[in-house]
Structure 1
Amino acid sequence: MRILRQAVAALMLWALFVVPAKAAGLIRDADVEYALTQLAAPVLRAAGVPSNLRVLVIDDPSLNAFVADNQHIFLNSGLIMKLGSAEALQYVIAHEAAHISNGHLARRAGNARAARTAAGLGMVLAAAAAASGAPSVATGIAAGSQSAALRQFLAHTRAEESSADATALRSLLRAGIDPRAALEVHDIFRGQEALSATRQDPYMRSHPLTRDRMRAAQGFVAGNAGQTRRDPGAAYWFDRAQGKLSAFLRAPSWTLRRANSSLSPDIALMREAVAHHRSSNLKKSLAAIDRALAMRPKDALYLELKGQILLESRQFGPAVQVYAAAAKMAPNEALILGGLGRAQLAAGDPGAALAVLERARARDFRDPRILRDLAVAYAKTGQTGMASLVTAERYALQGRLEDARLHATRAEAQLPRGSGPWRRAEDVLSATRHLR
């Protein structure tokens, strides 16, 4: 019971981290997340933080990045698309990881145990809202929370930022990454200090930039010139992540005009496939992704994109086949398994979908789409109690606590008393009562 309650508490805490003030939400994409994992890996090793720390993308065009716990780094899509090199993105990741390794989160929170209380959860939500660029929303959320702890959590002192800068630069050097990337990042925000607070990017408000920080970075770079070399693999994954994001977030015409500027021909074809798909041209979209797959036939992530194109074009049978092939190549990738289950549901096979979606949920309980589809699969196979339970967990993940309580109550009434699923429903009810 204690383990289950801790799991639900973690679920609720995650929900509070990722409910952005603008309701933008997370961008969950297997390709983008894999690329970020590849870029982050050498930096995290050099920084001495847990290797399973995840880098996730918030759908927000502003320039921002932040950490809210010691397991996740959040990057706004706008910042990823603005940066000009893999090394610049790795510096941002290194800087945020430094706040974790240097113990800044613990000091800002005051007491780590506060995060397990309702007030602590409210504090973290307010912090995430403020970091996402909505201080007025953060103010409203903070009402009733520990305001002193909130102020401490949001406080970015010059000492902390200088410390994080120095640690990030050393991490880059240990990882063999050119520390000049720090200058590129700082330069993006040059001039922001002259703007009014309402016109500044959220990163400026949560990561104050000073001339002293720029001079310190320049001094470090001057003293360590020529000790690194460019990593073609990092450049490839940066271009792929940036290309995938921009293809889905910018107009198709914009993408088609710029696709050929991609670092690799397969990335150009992937971008073209997405642009044609968003223009409802299935024939051209499939032709482009098939050409990319001809160049990288064992790339499960390109297969996953082809499955998505087919599924969203209502080609359900072919989508199942393609997703199944991708899942065979990457059997532990939750987002690919989720896509396969979604396609199986659309093709009218809820039984097969149920098994696949449970595998996906076991690997990543944080994706509301997986939980939504899993609830549908349970409902279509006549398991209404389980459908209510998974729906309750999805609403808890999204911060919809009243809806979570309603569906958890329904699940509790239908599930065998004392069973594992019944205890999960009880834990949702317990967590939502404390968060009222």
Structure 2
Amino acid sequence: MAASLSHALKTCAGFAAAASAAVLLSVSDASAQSMIRDAEIEDSLHVYTAPLLTAAGLTPADIDLYIINDDSINAFVSNGQNIFVHTGLILAADNPNELLGVLAHETGHIAGGHLARSREAIGQSMGVSLISIGLGVLAIAAGAPDAGAALISGSQAFAMGNYVRHTQVQESAADQAAMQYLERTGQSGQGLVDFFNENMRPYEFMMRRAPPYLITHPYSSDRVESLRVRVEEQPHHDATDSAENLRRFAFMQAKLVGFLRTEAQTLSRYPTSDTSQPARYARAVAYYRASQLDLARGELNVLIAEDPNNAYFQELMGQILFENGRAEESIPYHQRSNDLAPNQPLLQINLARALTAARGRAGADAAVPLLQAAIDREPDNAFAWRELAQARNQQGNESLAELASAEQNFAIGNFPAALNFAERARRGLARNTPSYQRSVDIVTFSSTQIRDMDRERRR
């Protein structure tokens, strides 16, 4: 994984969840969670969601998907058109149709404009809270301190009660929209019903004991029954998962288990007696993580022999070799992965860093176009900018290396470091060039951000 699971855990700062499919009592928050980058899993999720987004009247290229390393069973939409999927959700699903049902639900939130409406609802709820506080103050002034205190102390509950009624309506609307998108794409909505039944309904007793103003979602039994009746009426109710969807799902789960679980847990789920490709894949990852390189390569060699055109088998072999100090040996595998799955930024970065590490200046010359192509597709990829800084440094171009370091820090919100590198880059770059102008832009914006943060701290 490339920036692999073991190397690409980074903070998703600034994202706050606004609409969630599987959360039980409250809105989720991704601000302190880690994000996983993996070309194969991201590709599968995009393949799954593209038809649903099209059915909802959305443009798939406009929607970003993120994988959150979290065992909780959750997915949510945040900051416009961003779908976040927890690893726990992918591993908890029993089949692709269940995962597709949740993705269709999140698509319903985006198509319904629920994020913008949630902001309006929050504003309206605050108005209710302020009215309650005002009435409490008036009651105290009128000689009824107990009543006034009750109104003031209950203002938050009034606000939350008003807000959760809004979110419950949104969740029900997203459920119904999901069923429609699945039907339009020739898929069954049964997966969503089954997923709710298996993963949410067991916790309903907890929801019913919680204060009503904390329950942002309808009761699971109500959701399941409402969906079940509609789904069973649809022409594609009995549709089954395609062979391709099943294949992608099996490899997603195998890869996540191999990277996120212990070797013992992986072998328990995928014993050596299981010679299927997903099982070998999971064991190869688990052996690699346990530094049992011969076993890892043994499993991968079988997989590559069986399917030499699988880009991700090639990628994993390249990663194993690279991370064990054999950068030159890794290059043919990374090159092959790029040939088989062209224009994937993470695969391009893998090949570029192997070239730079193995071949110095000559490798850097070959790496720079790859990294620039990756950055063109993902301008905020801090890992790509870091590798570009190293490649530029190998080329002896210090100013462009410093500009790349400025971009790296700018992408992760480290504005003091971005300012420092951009200032140094600006001094060495020729004026009236795009690189010079970019360094000026970073200096200007970073300076403003630093001043604003200082002002906030003083407050």
**Common topology (TM > 0.5):** yes
Distance 2:275 2:412 in 1: 37
Q: 1:382 to 1:417 in 2, by over 3 A?
A: same
Indicate conservation of the 8 Å contact 1:293/1:299, yes or no.
yes
**Does residue 1:419 correspond to 2:430, yes or no?**
no
User: Normalization by structure 2: what TM-score?
Assistant: 0.75
Indicate conservation of the 8 Å contact 1:15/1:396, yes or no.
no
Indicate conservation of the 8 Å contact 1:36/1:238, yes or no.
no
Match of 2:312 among 275, 279, 301: 301
Distance 1:335 1:341 in 2: 10
Partner AA of 2:343 in structure 1: N
Distance 2:43 2:273 in 1: 18
**Does residue 1:29 correspond to 2:38, yes or no?**
yes
Partner AA of 1:337 in structure 2: Q
Distance 2:203 2:272 in 1: 29
Once structures 1 and 2 are overlaid, which stretch shifts more, 223-232 or 367-376? Answer: 223-232
**Does residue 1:330 correspond to 2:341, yes or no?**
yes
C-alpha deviation, 1:433, in angstroms: 4.2
Distance 1:405 1:109 in 2: 33
Give the corresponding residue for 1:224. Answer: 234
Q: 1:69 to 1:20 in 2, by over 3 A?
A: closer
**Does residue 1:42 correspond to 2:56, yes or no?**
no
What SS is found at the alignment partner of 1:337? helix
Distance 2:220 2:66 in 1: 27
Give the corresponding residue for 1:259. Answer: 270
Q: 1:355 to 1:373 in 2, by over 3 A?
A: same
Once structures 1 and 2 are overlaid, which stretch shifts more, 222-231 or 380-389? Answer: 222-231
Match of 2:408 among 391, 394, 398: 394
Distance 2:417 2:218 in 1: 39
What SS is found at the alignment partner of 1:157? helix
**Does residue 1:17 correspond to 2:15, yes or no?**
yes
Give the corresponding residue for 1:162. Answer: 172
Q: For each residue in 1:351-390, what CA deviation from the matched residue of structure 2 results, as whole angstroms up to 9, or x when unmatched?
A: 2222322222222223322111111111222222222222
C-alpha deviation, 1:206, in angstroms: 6.4
Give the corresponding residue for 2:367. Answer: 353
Partner AA of 1:366 in structure 2: D
Q: For each residue in 1:19-71, what CA deviation from the matched residue of structure 2 results, as whole angstroms up to 9, or x when unmatched?
A: 9433x432111111112122222222222221222322012222221112444
Partner AA of 1:369 in structure 2: F
**Which structure: larger Rg?**
2
C-alpha deviation, 1:317, in angstroms: 0.9
Q: 1:426 to 1:211 in 2, by over 3 A?
A: farther
C-alpha deviation, 1:290, in angstroms: 1.6
Specify which structure has the bigger relative contact order, considering alpha-carbon pairs within 8 angstroms and separated by 6 or more residues: 1
Distance 1:432 1:319 in 2: 38
C-alpha deviation, 1:260, in angstroms: 5.2
C-alpha deviation, 1:345, in angstroms: 2.0
Partner AA of 1:252 in structure 2: E
Q: Which runs of 5+ in 2 are unaligned?
A: 1-11, 17-28, 122-160, 453-459
Give the corresponding residue for 1:279. Answer: 290
Give the corresponding residue for 1:117. Answer: none
Indicate conservation of the 8 Å contact 2:77/2:84, yes or no.
yes
Partner AA of 1:219 in structure 2: V
Partner AA of 2:173 in structure 1: S
Q: For each residue in 1:270-307, what CA deviation from the matched residue of structure 2 results, as whole angstroms up to 9, or x when unmatched?
A: 11211111111222211211211122211112111111
Partner AA of 2:66 in structure 1: L
User: Normalization by structure 1: what TM-score?
Assistant: 0.79
C-alpha deviation, 1:110, in angstroms: 5.0
Distance 2:436 2:278 in 1: 47
What SS is found at the alignment partner of 2:187? coil
Partner AA of 2:417 in structure 1: D
Q: 1:390 to 1:183 in 2, by over 3 A?
A: same
- 1:27-106 alignment, distance < 5 Å: 27-52=36-61, 53-106=63-116
Distance 1:101 1:268 in 2: 37
C-alpha deviation, 1:207, in angstroms: 5.1
Distance 2:189 2:379 in 1: 36
Q: 1:433 to 1:95 in 2, by over 3 A?
A: farther
Match of 1:382 among 396, 420, 435: 396
Q: 1:416 to 1:25 in 2, by over 3 A?
A: farther
Indicate conservation of the 8 Å contact 1:255/1:272, yes or no.
yes
Q: 1:337 to 1:243 in 2, by over 3 A?
A: same
Root mean square deviation, CA, Å: 3.0
Q: 1:309 to 1:230 in 2, by over 3 A?
A: same
Distance 2:217 2:246 in 1: 26
Give the corresponding residue for 2:150. Answer: none
Give the corresponding residue for 2:299. Answer: 288
Distance 1:28 1:343 in 2: 18
What SS is found at the alignment partner of 1:416? coil
Give the corresponding residue for 2:186. Answer: 176
Give the corresponding residue for 1:141. Answer: none
What SS is found at the alignment partner of 1:417? coil
Indicate conservation of the 8 Å contact 1:99/1:105, yes or no.
yes
Indicate conservation of the 8 Å contact 1:39/1:237, yes or no.
no
Indicate conservation of the 8 Å contact 1:91/1:168, yes or no.
yes
The alignment-based identity, stated in percent, is: 31
Tell me how many residue pairs correspond in the alignment: 378
Indicate conservation of the 8 Å contact 1:324/1:340, yes or no.
yes
C-alpha deviation, 1:154, in angstroms: 10
Indicate conservation of the 8 Å contact 2:429/2:436, yes or no.
yes
Distance 1:433 1:209 in 2: 49
Indicate conservation of the 8 Å contact 1:110/1:153, yes or no.
no
Q: 1:409 to 1:25 in 2, by over 3 A?
A: farther
Indicate conservation of the 8 Å contact 1:239/1:263, yes or no.
no
Distance 2:313 2:408 in 1: 28
Give the corresponding residue for 2:3. Answer: none
Q: 1:324 to 1:289 in 2, by over 3 A?
A: same
C-alpha deviation, 1:343, in angstroms: 0.9
Q: 1:217 to 1:391 in 2, by over 3 A?
A: same
Once structures 1 and 2 are overlaid, which stretch shifts more, 178-187 or 303-312? Answer: 178-187
